């Protein structure tokens, strides 16, 4: 798309098509104060478009408008140019009807999954369709009807080959699904591999336009990897790794040149597809490495207790937020999956799919959804709720402190977290409050000790 004032062009498009006013959602900036990355996303007619990032708010807004225009143009042009001859053009408001007809003709069941999520000013309605064995992405709308219609339109676009949105493939041919080719190498300069394993890798890559570094996670396309993207896209918290966008690419040149031989090969490699997930770049040091480094020092390290409490508070705050979104972490709350942002804030991030082959964590993750050494007792029975996350948090807090004196306040907190029965463990919100009290007590004790020595 040619350069220019994308915000003005998007406003002009909205006026001509009578789609209503263009709104912009502003996400929290990331990075240190001297090197901030700002993010905005355009919302038009209740539909949220891909994030735009920039060095300042104005640049982020322009990129958000550009992304919205590109998506709108992709949806408009192919319908006129590449729609199958046996399919007539469908007017707005008729996609649900088309989907019902498609279901009857092809004898496949369809199911609409409708939800409501909190928005910037009010709640927004979301809908996704499950057609046969294929689950399509969520789409938002101002009303339930709008969301359902937009979701049906997305199904139409994908089936007719006019959308680049990924879905889980079953019996469809490759020609039915359009895949964005070579975006990784055309938009980014891959700099180094941050982690790799049987299922994929994470690259540090520089955006050629923004001149900023991001983490790009590349995994084999499957339903499980898309679920992770859906979960990440719903979360926005300073202690959770920031998700920006995702796209799909074929294997072939991209995989052989940049992802190398550790990615799995199918019998027919030409049909293999890979998911690219752009995320916030974090420090290469994980919490596991931090703990190992601390363990090589004297157990009398005076700062360890205070630092460990601060780290645990940040993790619990992130877990509390995830629980409020009706999600369970399960394997995010392990030291190898806790990262540090470039601003040194603690970040919950799951890189379990791309751990190095020689890493002990990979062996630990192969048998269960979580890591066995951190897994709550009830998780083996596969019948658990959100308190499944409190157990590994307790073990991790113990690891952070390494050696506790009997009767210590931290020991009491950890014991409550390690109760065998989930109902006996504290909620994340209760745990956060307890840790705040303990932090205040420690701060007071430190001040008294300082005054006594003066």
Q: In this predicted model, what pLDDT tens digit does every residue of 415-426 receive, in sequence order?
A: 776 777 777 777
Q: Which residues contact 34 (CB under 8 A, 6 or more apart)?
A: none
Q: Does the 183-280 domain belong in CATH 3.30.200.20? A: yes
- 152-185 pLDDT per residue, tens: 888 887 776 544 444 433 333 333 333 444 678 8
387 carries a ligand binding annotation: no
Domains 6-80 and 85-176 share a fold: yes
Mean predicted confidence (pLDDT) in 327-350: 74
Which of 337-346, 349-358, 362-371 ranks highest by mean pLDDT? 337-346
Residue boundaries of the structural domains of the chain = 6-80, 85-176, 183-280, 284-453
Band of residue 366 on the pLDDT scale cut at 50, 70, 90: very low
If one compares 382 and 243, the residue with the highest pLDDT of the two is 243
Would you say residue 10 has pLDDT above 70? yes
* Topology of the domain comprising 284-453: Transferase(Phosphotransferase); domain 1 (1.10.510)
According to the model, what pLDDT value does residue 347 have?
92
DSSP state string for 150-216 = HHHHHHHHHHTT--------SS--GGGS----SHHHHHEEEEEEEEE-SSEEEEEEEETTT--EEEE
Confidence of residue 328 (pLDDT cuts 50, 70, 90): low
CA–CA distance, 73 with 56 (Å, rounded to integer): 26
Q: Nearest Cα to 229, choosing from 311, 350, 115, 141?
A: 350
| Mean pLDDT of the region 72-101 | 57
Q: Is the pLDDT of residue 20 over 70?
A: yes
Mean pLDDT over 213-225 rounds to: 83
263 or 26: which leads in pLDDT: 26
pLDDT higher at 314 or 271: 314
Q: Is this structure's pTM higher than 0.85?
A: no
DSSP annotation string for 235-298: ---TTBPPEEEEEEEESHHHIIIIIGGGS---SSGGG-EEEEEEE--EEEEEHHHHHHHHHTS-
Q: Could you tell me the sign of the dihedral formed by the alpha carbons of 88, 92, 95, 96, in that order?
A: negative
Q: What is the DSSP letter of 419?
A: -
Q: In what order do the strands lie in the sheet with 338-341?
A: 282-286, 338-341, 346-348
Helix, strand, or coil here: 26? strand
**CATH class of the structural domain 85-176:** alpha beta
Q: Hey, which of 51-60, 254-263, 301-310, 424-433 has the most confident mean pLDDT?
A: 51-60
Question: Both tokens of residue 103?
Answer: 């279901």
Burial class for 170, CB neighbours closer than 10 Å (0-12, 13-18, 19+): exposed
The HSE-up count of residue 242 (CA atoms within 13 Å, CB side) is 20
Could you say which of 1.10.1200.10, 3.40.50.2300, 3.30.160.20, 3.40.50.720 is the CATH number of the domain covering 6-80? 3.30.160.20
Residue found by looking up tokens 């369809």 in the block? 110
Cα angle 267, 273, 276 (rounded to 5 degrees) comes to 145
The pLDDT assigned to 174 comes to 36
């Amino acid at each position: 798309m040619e350069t220019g004032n994308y915000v003005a062009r998007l406003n002009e498009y909205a006026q001509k098509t009578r789609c209503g006013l263009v709104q912009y959602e502003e996400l929290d900036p990331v990075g240190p104060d001297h090197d901030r990355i700002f993010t905005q996303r355009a919302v038009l007619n209740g539909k949220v478009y891909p994030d735009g990032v920039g060095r300042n708010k104005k640049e982020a807004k322009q990129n958000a408008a550009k992304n919205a225009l590109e998506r709108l143009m992709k949806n408009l042009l192919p319908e006129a140019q590449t729609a199958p001859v046996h399919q007539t053009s469908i007017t707005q408001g008729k996609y649900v009807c088309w989907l019902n007809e498609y279901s009857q003709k092809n004898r496949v069941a369809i199911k609409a999954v409708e939800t409501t999520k909190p928005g910037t000013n009010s709640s927004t309605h979301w809908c996704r369709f499950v057609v046969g064995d294929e689950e399509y992405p969520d789409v938002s709308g101002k009303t339930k009807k709008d969301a359902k219609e937009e979701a049906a339109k997305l199904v139409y676009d994908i089936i007719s080959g006019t959308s680049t949105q990924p879905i889980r493939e079953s019996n469809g041919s490759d020609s039915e699904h359009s895949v964005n080719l070579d975006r990784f190498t055309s938009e980014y300069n891959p700099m180094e591999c941050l982690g790799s394993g049987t299922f994929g890798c994470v690259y540090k890559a520089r955006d050629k336009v923004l001149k900023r570094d991001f983490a790009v996670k590349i995994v084999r396309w499957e339903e499980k990897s898309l679920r992770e993207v859906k979960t990440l896209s719903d979360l926005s918290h300073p202690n959770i790794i920031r998700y920006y966008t995702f796209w799909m690419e074929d294997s072939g040149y991209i995989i052989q040149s940049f992802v190398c031989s550790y990615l799995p090969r199918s019998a027919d490699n030409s049909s293999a597809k890979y998911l690219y997930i752009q995320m916030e770049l974090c420090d290469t040091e994980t919490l596991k490495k931090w703990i190992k480094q601390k363990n090589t020092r004297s157990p009398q390290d005076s700062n360890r207790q205070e630092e460990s409490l601060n780290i645990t508070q940040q993790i619990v705050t992130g877990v509390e937020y995830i629980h409020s979104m009706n999600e369970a972490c399960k394997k995010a709350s392990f030291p190898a999956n806790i990262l540090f942002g470039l601003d040194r804030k603690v970040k919950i991030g799951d890189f379990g799919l791309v751990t190095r082959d020689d890493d002990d964590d990979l062996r630990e993750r192969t048998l269960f959804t979580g890591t066995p050494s951190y897994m709550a007792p009830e998780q083996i029975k596969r019948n658990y709720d959100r308190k499944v996350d409190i157990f590994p948090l307790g073990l991790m807090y113990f690891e952070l402190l390494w050696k506790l004196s009997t009767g210590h306040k931290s020991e009491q907190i950890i014991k409550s977290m390690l109760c065998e029965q989930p109902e006996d463990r504290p909620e994340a919100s209760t745990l956060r409050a307890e840790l705040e009290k303990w932090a205040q007590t420690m701060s007071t004790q430190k001040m008294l000790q300082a005054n006594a020595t003066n």
